[in-house]
Amino acid sequence: MKELWRAAFVIARRDFTAVVLSRTFILFLLGPLLPILIGFAFGGLGDKISSTDLRPVVGLALTGQDDAAIQRAHDRLSQRMGEQSLPRLRRVPATPSPRVQLARTDSEVVAILSGSIAHPVLTGKAEDLDKLQGDISLLSTAAQAERTLRFITVERQEVSRSLGAQAQGRLIIGRIAQVVMFFLTILLAGMILSNLVEEKTNKIIEILAAAVPIDAIFLGKLMAMLAMSFVGIAFWGGTAFAIFEAIGGHATRLPTPAVGWPIFLMLAVLYFGMAYTLLGSLFLGIGAQAATVREVQTLNMPITMGQMLIFFFASYAVDHMGSPAEVAACIFPFSSPFAMIARAGQDATLWPHLVALLWQAAFVALIIRVGVLLFRRHVMQSGGRWWKNLFRPATG
C-alpha cells in the first residue's frame, strides 16, 4: 500500500506542478470572476429593462380626488410590495371615452381606469384585463380604505432567541453550502474527464503502466486535481471573504450552522473532497475509455446532465430532513456529500458524518478500481473479466 501511495504521489506531483505552474492557471483562477462581472453588467441592464419597459401602463381617467387617492395607494403598496408588483399609472383625459382612446394609434396605455374608486371601470382587451383586474381592485380597495379606515400600527415585542428563525437560518446555510459545493464540483471535476488523454496521445501511458500500477495513476491524477481545486478554492474563497469584509459584512452576523462554524467548515472541506473524488473518479474512469479529446467533449453534456440530476435530488432533500428522500440522498454515494453538508447545517449530530465519509471513501476506492480494470481491459487490452479482479491487489 505504501508503494502505491508513493507512486500516486509521484504522478500527483507531476500533474499538480504541470497545471499550477502553467500560464493558463492564472486564467483558471480569474475565470470565476468573469461570470460575476457579466452578472453585474447584464443584471443592471436587465433591472433597467424590466423596471422601465416591461410593466404595463394603466391610464387613469378619474376625477381629481379619486386620481390622487389611487396614486397615494399605489405609492404605499409599491413601497411595501416592490415596484415590480404593480402596473404603472398614467393620467389620461376623461374624454373621449376609454374605448376611443385605446383605439388611437398613439395610445401608450394598455387599459384605462374610469368611473370612481367606489365603482371603478377598467377598459381593455380581455387578456390584459385578466392580468390587471386584481391589481386595480387592490389599488381601489386601498384608496377607499384610506378614506374609511385608519392605518393600524403593530406593536413590537422583541426576543433575543427565536428557534424558528434559527431553523430558517440553518436551512439557508445548508442550502448555500450545498449550492456552492455543487458549483465548485461541477466547475472543477469536469476537468478530470480529459485527464488521461494527454498520457494516451503522447504515449506516456506505456511508460507509466510499466512502472506503476494503474491504480496509482488514477489515484495520483485525482490527488493532483483535488489539490489544484483547493488552491483555486482558497484563492476564490479568500477573494470573496475580502470583498465581503470590504463591503462591510460581518461574519458574526451570519446564522450559525447546527454543528458550529469550525466543524461545519471542516466538514465542508471533507465533503467537497469526497464529492470531487467521487465524481472525479467516475469521470476519470469514463474519460480514460475515450480515445480522443473529441470523444471526451461529446461525453461532457450527458455527464453534466447527470450532475444536475444529483444536485436536484440533494437539494430536494434539504427541505425534507428525515424523510425517506433525504435518507436516500444521504446514502446514494454521489448525492451523499451534498445532502450531508445540508444536514450539518441543520442537525448537530456528528456520528452520521463519520459514517457518511467512510461510506463515500469506500465508493471512491470502488469506482477507481472499476475504472482501472475497465481501462486495463479496454485500453491496455489486458486482464480478464473486470469483476473477477475487483478485489485483487493492484500489482499491474
Partner 1 sequence: MIGDISASSTAAPSAYAVEGHGLVKTFGSFRAVDGIDIQVPAGSIYGVLGPNGAGKTTLLRTLLGIVDPDEGHRTLLGEAQPLRMARAVGYLPEERGLYPSMKSFEAIAFMGALRGLPLHVGRERAKAMLEGHGMGAAIDKPIRQLSKGMAQTVQLFGTIVHEPRLIVLDEPFSGLDAINQEKLEALIRQQARNGVTILFSTHVIAHAERLCERIAIVAGGRIRFEGTPGDARDRLRSQVRLRTRADDGPWRAALPADTVREEDGWHFALPDEGIEPLLRALIDGQAGIENLSIERPGLHDAFVAIAGAAVAKQMVQQDAAEEPA
Rounded to a whole number of angstroms, the minimum distance from the CB of residue 230 to partner 1 is 22
> For partner 1, which is the closer residue by CB, 310 or 372?
372
Rounded to a whole number of angstroms, the minimum distance from the CB of residue 396 to partner 1 is 4
Rounded to a whole number of angstroms, the minimum distance from the CB of residue 220 to partner 1 is 10
> For partner 1, which is the closer residue by CB, 77 or 394?
394
Would you say 79 and 108 are in contact if contact means Cβ atoms under 8 Å apart? Answer: no
> For partner 1, which is the closer residue by CB, 35 or 393?
393
Cβ count near 227 (within 10 Å) = 16
Binding site for partner 1 (CB under 8 A): 1-4, 6-7, 10-11, 13-14, 18, 22, 198-199, 202-213, 215, 219, 365-366, 368-369, 380-384, 390-396
Rounded to a whole number of angstroms, the minimum distance from the CB of residue 42 to partner 1 is 37
Rounded to a whole number of angstroms, the minimum distance from the CB of residue 19 to partner 1 is 10
> For partner 1, which is the closer residue by CB, 18 or 30?
18
Q: Return the SS3 of 60.
A: strand
The C-alpha cell at 264 is: 461545519
Q: Please give the full DSSP string across 175-199, using - where no structure is assigned.
A: HHHHHHHHHHHHHHHGGGGGTTHHH
As a whole number of angstroms, the distance between CA 87 and CA 120 comes to: 16
Residue in 29, 8, 23, 32 with CA at minimum distance from that of residue 284: 8
Would you say 328 and 336 are in contact if contact means Cβ atoms under 8 Å apart? Answer: no
> For partner 1, which is the closer residue by CB, 320 or 388?
388
Q: Return the SS3 of 58.
A: strand
**Pairing mode, if any, of strands 111-115 and 57-60?**
parallel
Rounded to a whole number of angstroms, the minimum distance from the CB of residue 286 to partner 1 is 19
How many alpha carbons lie under 13 Å from residue 48 in its C-beta half-sphere?
6
> For partner 1, which is the closer residue by CB, 6 or 320?
6
